[in-house]
């Protein structure tokens, strides 16, 4: 049941993250064409790549080995799908000969399943965001921990912040997949060391920002302050995404899921930490500590490049 809730969180976030992230990471002239609008996999045809469509239609009459994702379109499966199937605001039609070998997540749309259609994994069907929140509270039994000031508005704000993080994380991992992965691997080996580096880095950046803010009376202090603030924000964002990847990879390994994309790994980690965020006091404290560790990891690995901060010029 926890696995179903986890899939639901990933699905709910995808509607806000996939489209914009794809547009930013892959320009129209890109030869990869990762988000084709209409896709038809004919009978007898087989593909090893993910099938993703935004606002279009996917018809699978052949054999799709990887994930199939549709946002705001339609999905029809008459063949087989080896990966996960996710439909966000997209009606799903499963023919009599359809075989889904993994999980099916349908969020905010209809599911038409013909007799004989096989779903070998789990099925998560959610009509609305309200149902998603109700299921989270019911299945995870977190309602008793909520204080009186945890109104629907507070919960809504937290969900919006998580959706924003999904968007940012997707953009970063699509643009720098190898760097994020390398940083997350180092986090597993240097957890405490990165925590200390993060504390020192955070303290140093704070002191420098205060000093430059005081120097804003001098013209040179203004551009330096802006550059330092931008640098601090980039470290914060990249560090958090690396933390998401670290926990997502550990979680998927524990669930024995293999071959997931970098985007799905990051979404898994954020969904997991998002649940922790709803725990009063503990959630906020955990996010603060992990953010500091992420900052330390980013500084120590030079944004996952392993290169020196200042390269020497060779004459």
Q: Average pLDDT in the 83-109 region?
A: 86
Residues 6+ apart with CB under 8 A from 290: 240, 243, 273
Question: Exposure pattern of 50-89 as b/e (b: 16+ CB <10 Å)?
Answer: bbbbbebebbbbbbbbbbbbbbbbbbbbbbbbbbbbbbbe
> What is the C-alpha to C-alpha distance for residues 147 and 191, in angstroms, rounded to an integer?
32
pTM of the model: 0.53
Q: Per residue in 32-88, pLDDT tens? A: 444 446 899 999 999 988 888 877 899 999 999 988 888 778 999 999 999 888 887
Alpha helices (H) in the chain, listed in sequence order: 2-25, 129-140, 152-175, 177-189, 191-214, 221-254, 262-277, 282-301
pLDDT band at 229; cut points 50, 70, 90: confident
Q: How far apart are CA 261 and CA 5, in angstroms?
A: 20
Backbone angles phi, psi at 279, to 5 degrees: -85, 120
What CA–CA distances, in Å, run from 296 to 193, 199, 226, 240?
A: 8, 7, 21, 11
pLDDT tens-place string over residues 11-32: 444 443 444 444 434 444 443 4
Structure tokens at 278: 């709803």
Sketch the domain layout of the chain as residue ranges. 2-129, 148-301
């Amino acid at each position: 049941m926890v696995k179903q809730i986890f899939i639901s969180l990933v699905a709910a976030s995808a509607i806000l993250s996939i489209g914009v992230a794809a547009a930013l990471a892959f320009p129209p002239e890109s030869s990869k064409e990762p988000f084709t609008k209409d896709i038809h996999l004919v009978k007898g045809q087989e593909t090893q790549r993910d099938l993703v469509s935004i606002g279009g239609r996917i018809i699978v009459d052949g054999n799709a080995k990887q994930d199939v994702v549709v946002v705001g379109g339609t999905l029809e499966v008459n063949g087989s799908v080896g990966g996960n199937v996710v439909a966000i605001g997209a009606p799903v039609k499963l023919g009599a000969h359809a075989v889904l070998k993994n999980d099916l997540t349908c969020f905010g749309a209809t599911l038409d399943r013909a007799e004989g259609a096989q779903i070998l994994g789990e099925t998560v069907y959610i009509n609305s965001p309200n149902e998603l929140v109700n299921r989270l509270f019911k299945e995870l039994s977190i309602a008793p921990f909520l204080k009186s000031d945890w109104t629907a508005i507070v919960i809504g704000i937290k969900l919006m912040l998580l959706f924003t993080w999904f968007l940012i994380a997707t953009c970063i991992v699509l643009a720098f997949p190898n760097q994020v992965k390398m940083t997350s691997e180092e986090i597993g080996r240097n957890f405490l060391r990165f925590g200390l580096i993060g504390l020192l880095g955070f303290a140093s950046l704070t002191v420098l920002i205060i000093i430059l803010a005081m120097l804003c009376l001098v013209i040179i202090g203004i551009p330096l302050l802006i550059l330092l603030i931008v640098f601090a924000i980039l470290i914060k964002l990249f560090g958090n995404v690396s933390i998401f990847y670290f926990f997502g990879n550990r979680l998927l390994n524990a669930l024995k899921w293999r071959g997931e994309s970098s985007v799905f790994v990051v979404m898994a980690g954020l969904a997991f930490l998002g649940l922790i965020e709803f725990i009063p006091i503990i959630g906020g404290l955990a996010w603060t500590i992990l953010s500091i560790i992420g900052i330390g990891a980013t500084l120590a690995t030079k944004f996952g490049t392993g290169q020196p901060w200042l390269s020497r010029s060779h004459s």
